[in-house]
Structure 1
């Protein structure tokens, strides 16, 4: 029973079969040379050194290089357990942004099922994650769509295709900076187009609101489906729209 538990625990660390056998053997028999370990753990002699090298790198085994031949010894199981817990916590922390993003996408795509959003605002990093949310915002069936884009990466072929499709069933207003006029002119004439000299960031308002800011080579975006936030964003957009220059096509 104990062996089964230890085996499961060690596999959580991604250990190979030979690494698992090596560690348990060193725990049971104490310090051993590589040759002795290969014998007792039934590990091929051609593989035992690479197995031990990997375990030293993982912090599971210590090596006494002052002896000839070298002697290997297992780290204390309590120390290894603490290491496992620490690594699991690291995995959980790294997974949190992904889970939050998935929850956000779920809530945006299942508004009839989800009775209340878990948060007012979601934060998303990355260009592709931002474009995935652009699709949700402007392809969600809203009748009025307002878009402000100062970044070329957010007006590429993928986003242009989304805007074109959305404009077939909704009134779309697109506000761009002067450097993006040629990109925007590729859209159908039914897309209302205006231009201004500068904008603080990008915005997409439709079935929710998405605000995106470029910093360096990456993007930081805020997304919400809260009605009052959508209205605030729409009011601000309309102010920018009135102050901007129509584009003749």
Structure 2
């Protein structure tokens, strides 16, 4: 298809090996501009991005995220945060009380805003020839990360994004069959199990090829091994510390 945006999105892959070539100030500026251009609930713009390029700070973040070495290796780490601190200032300026942070709705609004903004950042970075990998491990030890980067009350990390020049291109991962994701007119449950079984076979074959036969882990096995526990247990404590008091 002769559409540059579509082609960029369809060519996405996560990069976990980077050269030492820096990301230019102009490229970083364009990425942040795309973040600000993203839609947001009530135009509240509940997103803050902290860019980190200091090697020592990146090394510490890599450790906190579970020793993800590509965070330290790449030239730029972006931390995407839900931010109601500016809303708190707006409330103060107008003699109002900030109440939304007492409702779970604030999490949905903030996380949706971050997702939209991060999607823009990823698309623009990749269109510039840069590689990226999202870092959910930003929530692994969030209290330490909050202290390290000085996040104020009503601000918390959702995800990181590594940005740099790829040392090599990863293979594209297979996605679920479209019929498992695109449900027309209503949610269809009848064929999901068979679709997932078929997808498991594709992913298992991909893993065997990728690892030279050393691993055959499929999609449902991977998902099950994560979702059989609360794998980032400090998140609730983080939210309470940052001023979110859900009723």
Q: Same fold (TM over 0.5)?
A: no
Please identify which structure carries the higher strand content: 1
TM-score by length of 1: 0.24
